[in-house]
Structure 1
Amino acid sequence: MTQLLRLAALVSLIPSFASADVVWKGDFETGNTSQWTRSQSVSNNRLQVVTDVVREGRYALKATVRQGDDPINASGNRNELLYISQEKADSTWYYKWSTLFPADYPLDDRWQVFAQWHQEGCCGSPPLEFYVRGEEMHMRVGGVNGKVLWTAPLKRGDWSDFVLQVKWSSDAKKGFVQLWHNNEVVVPKTSIATQFGKEMNYLKLGLYRDDAIRPEASVYHDGFTMASTLEEVMPPPAPAPAPAPEPPLPAPEQPGEDAPAEELPDAPIVQTPETRPQTRWGITTPEELLSGERPPGADGAQGCNASGGGAAGVPITVAAGLLSFAALFTRRRKPARARAHAKR
């Protein structure tokens, strides 16, 4: 039993080790606002945890403001949640959250803050804030006279995913910010003062706007996370789409039943020495001599035993040899007869 209890204790520690870089979550997955330090709201129904419009998990926050909502008797109208993070000077943190402005969010050209890191002092614009004005979203650093480092069109009905890196410092050479919007770097690392003197900051999330704005407005927030590493807050890349399959090659056309067969030209007949009719021993036969016919090609190609004129030229050669021999014999007999006649 003791070993089982020890094993259960080790298993219970695994989630804390796996998320050691996450220092705080305000993602409303508790089903309420208990993750946050406190709220500034005129009524509970102004900061509702809902399930019908969410970015991740099961729950999100719906912050609503009506004209006259002033829970702390200050300038503007608001309903916000607070987390007293108190980041120390020269510390660096990553923050992730998502915000959605519904399709019926009213258009107004006055300031409407939806996320801010406020100084501990009571008054004035914060050192870092996100707000809407007209049809654009903005990020400003340095208070009312600070620098607007980012603007983007307000797209109603679409979630905006934010990842913010901040080094908190009142020294502009040490402090910096970097911002990702919808997984794209929109503000590269930029050196700037992110604190007012020695005042530490705290987070406020909800809706805070100019008190001259009349229409009721709501905004949704989800998934707020504070971590020490980028990997804990950056969404994983979307998987690459599978390549489209290549279309199959068209089948070769087959001739119809009634289509005439293709006629090929007759190949020429070529007689080779192996296929040409041969005479006996390459010499014209007696039958051919009697008929007066000569075999095809006798005037051209040589027979295998012919010396020049083909098979028909062999008898001519023999006859010529006999005539020459007879002439020589005749010449030899004439001197002999002359000598015999002289002796007589």
Structure 2
Amino acid sequence: MQDTDFGVEHQDPGERTAAEQTPASWDGQAAMPRQHAQGVIWRGFDSPDLGNWDNYQVQDDETGGNIQNRSPLAAKRMVVKPVEDLTHRHYAELYNFYVHVTVNPCHTGVSRSELIHRPARGTAEGTQYYYRWSTWFPRDLNRHIDFPMGPGIGGVWQVITQWHQASDSGSPPLALSAKSNKNKQDEPYIGLELSSRSEPVVWKTPLIYNAWHNFVLFVRYSNSVSDAPGKGGKVKLWYSMDMALPQPVTPFLSVKTTAAPDVTKGPYLKHGLYRSKDYYGPLVSHIVHCGIVEGDSLDAVLTP
């Protein structure tokens, strides 16, 4: 990266894309799929600003501990920059922009710097999307650019990307979090969490600093849970590091993801960093996100 400032899987036929149906069409050593893309619906960073996002949220000491929407602080806390050294262009990035997110101290409560996107085609029952992005957890202690990790105890958490229910309160049904194993601060991990499950962490991988973590997530929005093909809320995750093509790491998981017919009032994506007061309250955190896109197929989000 350039010098910054900073069991048996149940297959739902309705969710299988051409890429999954024809694995022979993929070159396992190549960075790009050969399959033709169907369509990217939305890109988060195709210009050096936050103009493609519906809203921004900042919460720290400078906001008095309150959430400020579309605050002028957003452009300071979430800075979009070009990747000038193309040798660091990762596996499928087209526009070469990244966002360097800073979360400043908040001594009175939680803190955040988050971007909000409402799915471009709404979230009516059964609507489905694929999301692709990459995340970099910086550690450069000499320049005070760091993604700190607290002890793995209750109340200490950090959410890096979430799909939030229509309301502004409550735990999101779907989130990617960065945590440490219980009482082991030296074993941080990234976890996929489904809040409605008795064991919410359904997948995790070690959090490696100063490397790209690549994600693709399939979401079907629904207010019901069903194992029947084509029914109910579904989630599936693909993952890789650095230049590798993301590979499936979970089956299709049934979960209530929530849905709504109105694009302005339904579930929404939040991208950035949202963290607890415990341990993180007085700290400054840095995280980098790159290349988030929303598409109607796996092929679309994997093809630049």
8 Å Cα contact 2:235/2:255 also seen in 1: yes
Counterpart selection for 1:217 from 282, 285, 288: 285
Taking structure 1 as reference, are residues 235 and 186 closer, same or farther at Cα in structure 2, changes over 3 Å only? Answer: farther
Counterpart selection for 1:37 from 36, 51, 54: 54
- Gaps in structure 2 of 5+ consecutive residues: 1-35, 64-72, 140-145, 181-187, 227-231, 241-245
Cross-structure match for 1:169: 222
Measured on the aligned residues, the alpha-carbon RMSD in Å equals 2.5
Inter-partner Cα distance in structure 1 for 2:297 and 2:238: 14
Matching of residue 232 in structure 1 with residue 300 in structure 2:
yes
Cross-structure match for 2:159: 113
| 3-state DSSP of counterpart to 2:302 | coil
Matching of residue 83 in structure 1 with residue 117 in structure 2:
yes
Measure how far apart 1:142 and its partner are. 3.2
Counterpart selection for 1:65 from 65, 86, 103: 103
| 3-state DSSP of counterpart to 1:188 | coil
| 3-state DSSP of counterpart to 1:31 | coil
8 Å Cα contact 2:196/2:255 also seen in 1: no
8 Å Cα contact 1:69/1:79 also seen in 2: no
Cross-structure match for 2:237: 179
Inter-partner Cα distance in structure 2 for 1:23 and 1:126: 23
Aligned residues: percent identity?
Answer: 30
Measure how far apart 1:19 and its partner are. 7.0
Inter-partner Cα distance in structure 2 for 1:197 and 1:221: 28
Residue 268 of structure 2 aligns with an amino acid whose one-letter code is Y
Inter-partner Cα distance in structure 1 for 2:238 and 2:170: 27
Inter-partner Cα distance in structure 1 for 2:222 and 2:170: 18
Cross-structure match for 2:269: 203
Q: Which has the higher strand share?
A: 2
| 3-state DSSP of counterpart to 2:46 | coil
Runs of 4+ in 1 over 6 A off after TM superposition: 196-199
Task: Mark the structure with the bigger radius of gyration.
Answer: 1
Measure how far apart 1:145 and its partner are. 5.5
**TM-score of the aligned structures, taking structure 1 as reference length:** 0.57
Inter-partner Cα distance in structure 1 for 2:124 and 2:103: 32
Taking structure 1 as reference, are residues 92 and 197 closer, same or farther at Cα in structure 2, changes over 3 Å only? Answer: closer
Inter-partner Cα distance in structure 1 for 2:168 and 2:294: 24
Inter-partner Cα distance in structure 2 for 1:129 and 1:180: 14
Taking structure 1 as reference, are residues 54 and 218 closer, same or farther at Cα in structure 2, changes over 3 Å only? Answer: farther
Measure how far apart 1:118 and its partner are. 0.8
| 3-state DSSP of counterpart to 1:233 | helix
Counterpart selection for 2:82 from 37, 51, 57: 51
Q: Indicate the structure whose relative CO is greater, using CA pairs within 8 Å and at least 6 residues apart.
A: 2
8 Å Cα contact 1:125/1:144 also seen in 2: no
Inter-partner Cα distance in structure 2 for 1:119 and 1:139: 16
